[in-house]
Structure 1
Amino acid sequence: MIEDYDLIVSSFQSQYGLRLSREIHKMSWTEFKQMLVGIDNKTALGRIIAIRAEDDKEVLKTFTKEQHRIRNEWKEKHAKVVAESISKQEMDTAMDGFKNAFLRMAGLGGD
C-alpha cells in the first residue's frame, strides 16, 4: 500500500474531492478503508489495480507493453512476498505432502 500512496492520494482527490493530506487526520481507519475499497476504475489507482488483477487471456492480448510491465512487476513482487512469508518448516511439510501423494499415485505407499 505504501508504494501506491501517490495513486491513493490522486484517486481520493479525483473520486471524492478529498485532499488526503488535509483530511486523513479527521478520518477513522475504518472510514479510510471503506473509501479505499470504493475506489472505482476511473481513478489512477483503479486502473492500475485492474491491470494488476487481469487474468483473461483475451484481454491480456490487447495490453500495451506498459500494461504488461505493470502487471508483471506486480506478479513478481507478490510471488516474492508470498515465498518469503512461507517458513522453512511449512515448506518442508508441504513438500513431504507432495512426495507422499506422488508415491501413493505410483502405488509405492508413501507414509
Structure 2
Amino acid sequence: MAALKWSDIDFNNQTLRVVRTYYNPTSNKLKYQVLTPKTETSIRAISIDTTVINLLQLHQGQQNIIINENRPFYHDDNFIFATNEGYPKTLKTISNRLQRLLKCLWHTKNA
C-alpha cells in the first residue's frame, strides 16, 4: 500500500497494478526504499470496484490541493498515500490508522 503510485491505477479499466514494494525498517520518512517484489508472481493487476475507484479519485483531488498548498517543499514522487510533504506514509503510520479505524468499527458494531 505504501509503495502504490498514481501510475499504478487504471481508472478506466478499474485495476490496480502491484509492481513495487516499500522498505523502511527505521520508519524514518526520508530513509525509505522502493524495491521490486521478491518474486515475479508478486507483480500483478488487481480488479477494483467502482466504490474504490470513486474514493481514489476523491483522494487524488484532495491530495492535489495539498500539493498545491505545499508546492515549495512538496517532494512529489506520485505516491497515493503520501504525507503532506509528499513522502510515502510509513508502515507504522498506516498500521496505527487501520487499528484505530478497526477499533472504531468494532465499537460501532457492538454498541
TM-score normalized with structure 2 length: 0.23
TM-score, normalization by structure 1: 0.23
Identify the structure with the greater strand proportion: 2
* Higher RCO structure (Cα 8 Å, ≥6 apart): 2
Specify which structure has the higher proportion of helix: 1
